[in-house]
């Protein structure tokens, strides 16, 4: 059994797209960064890594958390998605900064003036 996560009727005119996930939840993997990629026969592989704590030595240990494998065309589409999402995040950050500035300019209601 699966669950509907998202439905889109706008991005592709005349086509209804639905995103489904597993009923028990979907795999989520934390990564500290990206380290290394490969291209072979039209397939891109990208290593997402975690950084292990250093034990006083000068070697930083990175471990592959997950390797993302996809066709070149999808990888290139991913670049566009990340670019658009970055713009959206920057707009949200700017809105948050503006809200914080507005809040800091308001008189403190807890302060009693005499």
CA distance 76 to 83: 11
Average pLDDT, integer, range 78-107: 91
Residues 23-54: tens digit of each pLDDT: 999 999 999 999 999 999 999 999 999 998 77
CA distance 94 to 98: 6
Residue 112 CB neighbours (<10 A): 6
pLDDT at 7 over 90: yes
**This prediction's pTM:** 0.67
| Residue with the two structure tokens 């891109």 | 44
Residue 112 has what pLDDT?
Answer: 59
Residues 47-83: tens digit of each pLDDT: 999 998 777 777 888 999 999 999 999 999 999 999 9
Q: How do beta strands 33-40 and 17-22 pair? A: unpaired
* Residues β-bridged to residue 109: none
CA distance 15 to 4: 17
Q: Which residues contact 1 (CB under 8 A, 6 or more apart)?
A: 23
Residue 30 has what pLDDT?
Answer: 95
Domain chopping of the chain, boundaries: 2-105
CA distance 82 to 76: 10
| Residue with the two structure tokens 């072979």 | 40
């Amino acid at each position: 059994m699966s669950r509907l996560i998202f439905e889109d009727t706008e991005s592709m005119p005349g086509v209804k797209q639905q995103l489904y996930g597993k009923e028990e939840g979907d795999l989520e993997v934390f990564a500290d960064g990206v380290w290394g990629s490969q291209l072979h026969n039209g397939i891109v592989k990208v290593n997402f890594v975690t950084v292990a704590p250093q034990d006083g030595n000068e070697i930083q240990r990175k471990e592959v958390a997950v390797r993302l494998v996809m066709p070149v065309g999808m990888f290139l589409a991913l670049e566009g998605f990340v670019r658009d999402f970055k713009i959206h995040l920057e707009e949200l950050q700017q809105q948050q900064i503006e809200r914080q500035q507005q809040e800091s300019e308001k008189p403190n209601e807890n302060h009693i003036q005499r």
